[in-house]
Amino acid sequence: MNETNQLARLREIPAPLLAWYDRVKRSLPWRELPTPYRVWISEIMLQQTRVEAVKPYFERFVADIPDIPALAAVEDAILLKHWEGLGYYSRARNLKKAALQAMERFDGQLPADYPQLLSLTGIGEYTAGAIGSIAFGLPTPAVDGNVLRVTARLLADETDILSPALKKLRRQQLLSVLEELSRPGDFNQALMELGACVCIPNGAPLCERCPVSHLCEGVKTGIAAALPKKSPKKSRKMQQMTVAIVTYQAETLRHHRPETGLLAGLWEFPHTEGFLSQSEVGAWLSSLGLSPARLWQAGEATHIFTHIEWKMRVYRATLAAPPALPDSNYRMVGEDEEDAPMPTAFSKLLAL
């Protein structure tokens, strides 16, 4: 299909898609009351995280930190505690940065303007499009991987969906569609809903349940299930490390990560590069001033980030007396302490 025909086909989608969305849309907490703040928080949480996993985090976050002034004023440790387990912690830090910017430049509100939304830290084209359309009724496209997949199948478009040129074209085409609609937010959400529930990733699309199958070029040409086309991903960097879970009574030793980079500012278990033997771990802990009464290997675990994969060999050590810690980046932390948020990569090791 050429670009003109693609646009003509996309213009036929809204009527059946919106009728379907009105019938079947899932009830989600952020849909109940789509204020700009709630849409923003939900969209940031939903990046890289499943809907079901986000729900309880969202409810707790907006109950405890209900608006932009509260977010701008929240302590970092409390903010990160509300994010603990969601991963990609830079999202939470960027929320606070953007809240401070909104306090300074927009009177503590999110602006009803696409370029101004884009000027806030952590708000990219997709999120600005979602906030603009859902919360403010603006004709702003929200093109993410879901929308690229659905439209690739609908239009039988075999272009690599990771190509920036394709994303730009799709934004322009959807902008033309949205400008003719009275419900741009619902249209964007309906397209996302179709991608999440019917035209699903990682498997055959459920075309028999699709409200736009009669308009789907991918079905007509028989190539829907082979789409989207995607260039192969770069392989992840592998890192081996040894982690020590050092315990004194009900407290464990934590180390504060640097304020920049991966998992910035969170409290991890001490670790060092490479896989160490038990005697090497003893020497390492001794260099930190620790003399465990017991030391044993607890197991191995893997944690996958977008670009890095950690292979962790985990040792447990118990101390007979309170330790003298090397510096203020180390702390003994009790189970209930709220001000030392720990990334999932480490907290899951406690189960070993």
Return the active site residues: 43
Judging by DSSP bridges, how do beta strands 330-334 and 251-256 pair with one another? antiparallel
Q: Which stretch binds ligand SF4 (CB under 6 A): 94-102, 111-119, 150-158, 342-350?
A: 150-158
Residue 190: closest CA among 224, 142, 225, 228: 142
Q: Which C-beta is closer to ligand SF4: that of 135 or that of 177?
A: 177
155 lies in the site for ligand SF4, by CB under 6 A? no
Return the number of the residue (153 or 271) whose C-beta is nearest ligand SF4: 153
Q: What are the beta bridge partners of residue 314? A: 243, 299
- Would you tell me how many other CB atoms lie within 10 Å of the CB of residue 246? 23
Collapse the DSSP code of 146 into the 3-class scheme (helix H, G, I; strand E, B; otherwise coil) and give the result.
Answer: helix
Q: How many CB atoms lie within 10 A of CB 344?
A: 14
What's the alpha-carbon Rg for the chain, to the nearest Å? 24
Collapse the DSSP code of 92 into the 3-class scheme (helix H, G, I; strand E, B; otherwise coil) and give the result.
helix
Tell me if 74 contacts ligand SF4 by CB under 6 A. no
Phi and psi at 237, nearest 5°, equal -80, 135
- Residue 257 near ligand SF4 by CB under 6 A: no
**Which contiguous run of DSSP H or E holds residue 271?**
strand 271-273
Q: How far is the CB of 97 from ligand SF4 (least distance, A)?
A: 37
Stretch that binds ligand SF4, among 206-214, 240-248, 280-288, 329-337 (CB under 6 A): 206-214
Do the Cβ atoms of 316 and 295 come closer than 8 Å? yes
210 binds ligand SF4 (CB under 6 A): yes
CA dist 241 → 134, 262, 272, 281 (Å): 44, 15, 6, 11
228 binds ligand SF4 (CB under 6 A): no
Q: Which of 18, 198, 288, 319 binds ligand SF4 (CB under 6 A)?
A: 198
> Nearer Cβ to ligand SF4, position 62 or 150?
150
Residue 212 binding ligand SF4, by CB under 6 A: yes
The one segment of 162-170, 197-205, 276-284, 323-331 that binds ligand SF4 by CB under 6 A = 197-205
Name the pairing type of β-strands 251-256 and 271-273: unpaired
What is the token pair recorded at 163?
A: 């190509």
In the numeric block, the tokens 């789509």 are attached to 34
Q: Is residue 79 a contact point for ligand SF4 (CB under 6 A)?
A: no
Residue 218 lies near ligand SF4 (rule: CB under 6 A): yes
First to last CA, the chain: 54
# binding residues, ligand SF4 (CB under 6 A): 15
Q: Does 127 bind ligand SF4 (CB under 6 A)?
A: no
Question: Closest separation between CB of residue 27 and ligand SF4, Å?
Answer: 22
User: Is residue 154 close enough to count as binding ligand SF4 by CB under 6 A?
Assistant: yes
Residues at the site binding ligand SF4, with contacts judged by CB under 6 A:
150, 153-154, 198-199, 205-207, 210, 212-213, 216, 218-219, 224
